[in-house]
Chain A
Amino acid sequence: MGTNKENGSRSKRRGVSRRDFLSTTGLGIAGLATRGPAQQETDPDEAVVGAGQRIPVTLHINGRKYRLLAESRWSLGYVLREELGLTGTKLSCERGECGSCTVLIDGVPRYACMVLVPEAVGVEITTIEGLLNGENLGDVQRAFAENDALQCGYCTPGQIMSVEGLLRTNPEPDLDQIRKGVSGNLCRCGAYVNIFKAAQKVSEERLRSGGSA
């Protein structure tokens, strides 16, 4: 899970942590699970939000601002795909095991299935769509295409985001660091060998062109 470790970034994160959010709402996780979506009377002035109720949130995704009403139990992955139509981010296990939903949060690869909406407020989110320049592919995307670093393509957006995140913190990774960098992203088709090649190629390209992406 190399890239998806907290890397000490948690304390630096802006916005509301999940724990803070749940404590301010007065509902623990157990409460959410057992009470279900029972309707609660809510005073709009009171910061108590029941499960199943929607709160206004603003998300910063790929340099744009999105305002929406969201349930606090919705994951970022769900919001991206089903509410905002950014279906490039894939959801698979939805339990933090496969990495197909990997996005960058403040430049660090994170599993979007493990980020609840309140945690996604006040941070910069980059998805696979955010690597495109208009209709043109970003360099990592292009390297994946040229090196056939994919088969079915379902884990691919997550793999690409992990490589992008890795190269931002470590522009010159060796093979071992690349393997660890994508070790939190499962590929059932088994395109790993070509993923390693693609990551190496982008790293070389960026160094040649003076480190700019």
Chain B
Amino acid sequence: MKEGFYYLPPELPQTPEPDQDQDPWGETVIVGSPLPRVDAYERVSGSADYPSDVNLPGMLYGAILRCPHARATIREIDTSIAEKLPGVLSVITSQTPEADIGWHYEGDKLVASLFDVHCRFEGEAVAAVAAETPHQAHDALRAIKIDYEVLPQVSDYRRALDEGTPSVWETRDRAGEPDFYDQETDNRSGESQIYERGDLETGFVEADHIVEETFSTESQIHVPLERHGCAAKWDGDKLTVWESTQGVYSIQRRLAATLNLPLSNVRVICHFVGGAFGGKLQAGKYTVIASILAKLSGRPVKLFLSLEESLLCVGNRPANQMRLKAGVKNDGTITAIEFEALGSGGAYAGSGTGALDWQIRDLYNCPNVRTTLHNVFINAGDQRPMRAPGHPQCSWALEQMMDQLAEAIDMDPVELRLKNFTDVSQARGNIPYTSTGLRECLSEGAVAFGWKEALSRQPSDDAVVRGVGMASCLWVAGAGGPPSTVILKYFVDGSVNLNMGASDIGTGTKTVMAMVVAEELGVAVDRIQIEHADTGTTQYATSSGGSKTVPTESPAVRAAAIDCKNQLVALAAKDLDLPIDRLELRGEVVVDIQDEEKKVAVSGIEGLRRQQVLVGVGYRGPNPDGKATCPFAAQFCEVEVNKRTGEVTVVRFVGAHDSGRVMSRLTYDNQVYGGITMGIGFGMTERRVLDHQRTGKMTNLSWHDYKIPTALDVPADMTSLPIDTIDIECNTTGAKGLGEPVTIPTAAAIANAVYNAVGVRVTDTPINPTQLLEMIAQANQETG
């Protein structure tokens, strides 16, 4: 299948001097080209080994029993019937000595138990079983009898601080444990966080127009197609875990700490992961539970959660309520921004407002800013980072506000954003960015979209009308950084093994890294074998999150390739009896640059033949001092609104992204399409619905009711416009993060387009026909 896919580069970058700093790349040959994924074969043939595909001899199936109530205390658990059912090998509860383990949610602040007697959200783990088949495991779960005392709950974060609201932390976990929340039984989670610069009052006085609005976003849930889970196998006191994760090393660390094992006794492997989006950065209780079940049963255990469990228990993007007030001069200068927001990370995770205010602080030039973030506990599953935590929510508010300001001063929304452009990070003490392509994202994106023409279209009286909208963004992270170690094995025939700890979560990490090796060494991409994401055999890497994998790993891979190249040239220099600086690696031949007749094929280099394999090592160097590195973007869209039904169809999208150098064109574009798709879900269909009034339980526990975008919900007309910024400072490949900014401005752009179409501003996600129809009717009444 690889025939015609890959080719050798016609020329190669120069070999650097020994000990010389790596020069930034100029034009690249392989890097940036549209090569298909190096692991496409595995992914389309069905041969890719995802952790959920693991099938070990004698393997059992684990399942977890979960509290069906939003808040309850367990009076009694009876597992006697379950234990006797056919095929059942282990049943564990809080009464099982081996399972009496403390559990930390965020940091080490909140201490809970692996199996809690006090259940603080629907889906809290209360027991688990291992059986010969998953069906027998679920039979056993149904046979466990639990006597719950159901307690009053609070699931609405907006009501969490109201007088008389039940307290999430009123009941205590473990006798004798210190009570961390003794004084905080009013559901407040920590002090409110305040950020302030300049003088807000002065800023508002200077403004010609002040706009104030309250926005809200609903909770979005990751729901990757491969559910969370793992297979665990013991060999004596050594544990091997195949876990569907974004970071094998973070799982290893957590498991070793929880089970009190040395790191060397815990091996975590994940060659493929079926979607993650931030929800698989950390070990869940299920990983520990599978390990305990396997230990007690003396057999390997595979434990994967159900869709219902993945909607309830393994994280979400918190819902947020945001009040935003901004002042603008008639010339478009923003004079002041005030932002106050509320959120909840659930019953355990401390924060529901993580990174929520970053774009308020840093996207637009503004001397006078104040943000206030409040956090509360509710009886609901804990949050986990989800694709650009905090940013799409903030964008929903800020980018609609920008359009409101533009309208107030009768300015093109793109012009207003350009007017308030800044190339320094104000929230980091006004340090400059290594690069910022936001201006180009805005101006070139507008041209590619046909913004001016679309904006000047005459309004129509038709029942079905079109509108256009846009929004821009930055992502707080995306610089990457140390540590990372990469090892390249250069075989005697010139083929290469690349060894790195990083995951490829579908973003194309392996493909990008193979292209970096090909760029430096001239080896064809299909002659590179990649060994990755295995704590037993690959080098340390941080988890793939924060859009940092490519900017973190690609410089380390490049350094390892250059190390290989230097060693090769040194060995060839001995054979040719020439100084190193006269030699250059070209494909599989080392050539004298002064006399091209003098050369030696790589496979003929005596030193390499003797040692058979040459090992190159690369490290990720530090980021530049005193500078910030962030990706930027602007997205433009056109929608069609049916005024009679309130239905909105997204017709087309243009995503103009500055993520530094484009490393792999196909996977780059695919990230842009995918981010926009997820943003369409966030803006238009996705919301966790909790029964606030009565039970606190989630009422839309399925993909029919928790709707993620289908093939019918996305426009086929999507354009990815890379703003290929040359950033020679951020790192040695010039790449910045991409996976998260792609989903930040999407929902706000749609809301702005809906406003442009029908003159109705939807301030609460998701934009849906019922809500919109009512708003259109209301607007008609007011104007008519």
Chain A interfacial positions (CB closer than 8 Å to B): 36-37, 39, 52, 71, 73-74, 78, 81-82, 85-95, 97-98, 100, 127-129, 132, 136-137, 141-142, 144-146, 148, 150-157, 160, 175, 179-180, 182-183, 185-196
B residues in contact with A150, CB < 8 Å: 40, 43-44, 506
Smallest CB-CB separation from B61: which chain A residue?
A82
* Shortest Cβ-Cβ A-B pairs, 5 listed: A88-B46, A190-B677, A154-B274, A152-B506, A153-B43
List A contacts of B676 (CB < 8 A): 190
**B618 vs chain A, min Cβ distance (A):** 26
Establish whether residues B44 and A94, one from each chain, have CB atoms under 8 Å apart when the complex forms.
no
Chain B, 233-280, CB within 8 A of any chain A CB: 272-277
**B477, CB-defined interface residue at 8 Å:** no
**Complex partner residue of B44 from A160, A175, A180, CB under 8 angstroms:** A160
CB–CB A154/B41 < 8 A: no
Q: Is the beta-carbon distance between B712 and A180 smaller than 8 angstroms?
A: yes
Assuming A37-B139, A180-B712, is B44 touching A193 (CB within 8 A)?
no
Least Cβ–Cβ distance between A139 and chain B, in angstroms: 11
Q: Which residues of B contact A91 (CB under 8 A)?
A: 52
Over the window 275-295 of chain B, the binary record of Cβ atoms lying under 8 Å from chain A Cβ atoms (1 yes, 0 no) is 111000000000000000000
For this complex, 11 residue pairs linking A to B, each with C-beta atoms less than 8 Å apart, are A87-B46, A90-B52, A90-B274, A94-B307, A137-B1, A144-B44, A148-B36, A179-B711, A183-B711, A192-B714, A194-B673
Q: Check if A195 sits within 8 Å of B274, measured CB to CB.
A: no
Q: Which of A81, A88, A179 contacts B47 (CB 8 A)?
A: A88
List of B residues within 8 angstroms of A78 by Cβ: 134
The 8 Å CB contact of B226, one of A36, A39, A92, A95, is A92
B518 to chain A, nearest CB (A): 18
Q: Which of B1-26 contact A (CB under 8 A)?
A: 1, 5
A159 to B508, CA, bound (A): 19
Query: B307 and A154: CB pair below 8 A?
Result: no
Partner of B711, one of A71, A100, A156, A182: A182
Report yes or no: B678 in contact with A93, Cβ–Cβ below 8 A: no
Q: A88-B45, A153-B48 are in contact. List 15 more A-B contacts (CB 8 A).
A: A36-B139, A37-B87, A39-B86, A52-B86, A52-B139, A81-B55, A82-B133, A82-B134, A88-B47, A137-B45, A151-B508, A155-B225, A157-B44, A191-B673, A196-B711
Question: B55, B508, B708: which contacts A87 (Cβ < 8 A)?
Answer: B55
Contact of A152 among B46, B274, B666 (CB under 8 A): B274
Nearest CB on B from A185, distance (A): 7
Chain B residues near A183 (CB-CB < 8 A):
710-712
Is B46 touching A193 in the complex (CB atoms < 8 A)?
no
Q: A81-B53, A151-B507 are in contact. Are A188 and B46 (CB under 8 A)?
A: no
Let me know if A100 and B225 touch, CB within 8 A. yes
Cβ-closest chain B residue relative to A160: B44
CB contacts (< 8 Å) of B711 on chain A: these are: 179-180, 182-183, 185, 187, 192, 195-196
Pick the residue among A88, A95, A127, A192 that contacts B307 (CB under 8 A): A95
Q: Roughly how many angstroms separate A90 CA and B244 CA in the complex, as a whole number?
A: 14
A141 in contact with B670 (CB, 8 Å): no
Which residues of B123-164 have CB atoms within 8 Å of chain A's CB atoms? 133-136, 139, 142-143
Q: Which of B36, B134, B226 touches A154 (beta carbons < 8 Å)?
A: B226
B interface residues, how many (CB within 8 angstroms):
68
Q: Is the interface of B mostly helix, strand, loop or mixed?
A: loop
Tell me which of B43, B703, B716 contacts A98 (CB under 8 A): B703
Contact B55 A186 (CB under 8 A): no
| A190: B residues at CB distance < 8 A | 673-678, 709, 714
Render B709-732 as a binary contact track against A, CB cut-off 8 A, 1 for contact.
Answer: 111101010100000000000000
In Å, the complex CA distance between A136 and B1 comes to 6
Question: Smallest CB-CB separation from B88: which chain A residue?
Answer: A37
Q: What is the CA–CA distance of A186 and B686 in the complex, to the nearest angstrom? A: 14
The reply to whether B224 and A148 form a contact with Cβ atoms under 8 Å apart is no
Give every chain A residue within 8 A of B223 (Cβ-Cβ): 188
Contact between chains at A192 and B673 (CB < 8 Å): yes
Shortest Cβ distance from B664 into A: residue? A148
Contact A137 B44 (CB under 8 A): yes
A93–B275 Cα distance when bound, in Å, is 14
Query: With a CB–CB cut-off of 8 A, which chain A residues contact B46?
Result: 86-89, 127-129, 132, 157
- Inter-chain contacts of A142 with B (CB < 8 A): 1, 44
- Contacts A137-B44, A182-B711, A187-B225; A52 near B136 (Cβ below 8 A): yes
**Chain B residues near A37 (CB, 8 Å)?**
85-87, 135-136, 139
Question: Are B36 and A145 in contact, CB atoms less than 8 angstroms apart?
Answer: yes
Q: How far is the CB of B430 from chain A (nearest CB, A)?
A: 36
User: C-beta contact mask, B672-708 vs A, less than 8 Å → 1, else 0?
Assistant: 0111111000000000000000000000001110001
- Chain B residues with CB under 8 Å of A74's CB are 135
Q: How far is the CB of A115 from chain B (nearest CB, A)?
A: 16
CA distance A133 to B261 in the complex (A): 46
By the criterion CB–CB under 8 Å, are A193 and B45 in contact?
no
Residue of B47, B275, B276, B505 most packed against chain A (CB within 10 A): B275
Q: How far is the CA of A93 from the CA of B274 in the complex (A)?
A: 13
Contact (Cβ within 8 A) A193 B225: no
Assess whether A146 is in contact with B36, with CB atoms less than 8 Å apart: yes
How far does the alpha carbon of A185 sit from the alpha carbon of B139 in the complex, in Å? 29
Q: Find out whether the CB atom of B673 lies under 8 angstroms from the CB atom of A186.
A: no
B227 within 8 A of A: yes
A98 vs B311: C-alpha distance in the bound complex, in angstroms? 14
* Contact across chains for A98 and B225 when beta carbons are under 8 A apart: yes
Give min CB distance, A204 to chain B, whole Å. Answer: 16
Decide yes or no: A188 and B708 within 8 Å by CB, A87-B55, A151-B674 being known contacts.
Answer: yes
- Closest residue to B676 on the A side, CB-wise? A190
Q: Kindly state the separation between the CA atoms of A148 and B667 in the bound complex, as whole angstroms.
A: 7
B37 interfacial by beta-carbon distance below 8 Å:
yes
Contact of B225 among A92, A95, A137 (CB under 8 A): A92
Most chain-A Cβ atoms within 10 A of its Cβ — which of B47, B87, B272, B670? B670
Question: Among B5, B85, B675, which residue has its beta carbon within 8 angstroms of that of A36?
Answer: B85
Q: Which residues of A contact B134 (CB under 8 A)?
A: 78, 82
A182 to B674, CA, bound (A): 16
Distance in Å from the Cβ of A148 to the closest Cβ of chain B? 4
Q: Are A90 and B670 in contact (CB under 8 A)?
A: no
B673 and A152 within 8 A (CB): no
Closest to B35 in A: A148
A114 vs chain B, min Cβ distance (A) = 13
Cα distance A129–B670 in the bound complex, in angstroms = 25
Q: Is B204 an interface residue (CB 8 A)?
A: no
Which of A92, A97, A156, A188 has a CB less than 8 Å from the CB of B43? A156
A94's contact among B41, B47, B276, B306, by CB below 8 Å, is which? B306
Residues 468-492 of B, flagged 1 when their CB comes within 8 A of A and 0 if not, give 0000000000000000000000000
Instruction: Collect the chain A residues with CB atoms within 8 Å of residue B718's CB.
Output: 193
Measured CB to CB, the nearest residue on chain A to B511 is: A148
Smallest beta-carbon distance B384→chain A, Å = 15
Cα A141 to Cα B673 with chains together (Å): 20
Q: Are A92 and B673 interface neighbours, CB within 8 A?
A: no
Whether, in the assembled complex, B50 has its beta carbon less than 8 Å from a beta carbon of chain A, the answer is: yes
A73, A145, A155, most chain B CB atoms within 10 A: A145
A193 touches B673 (CB 8 A): yes
Minimum CB distance partner of A98 in chain B: B703
Contacts of A185 in B (CB 8 A): 711
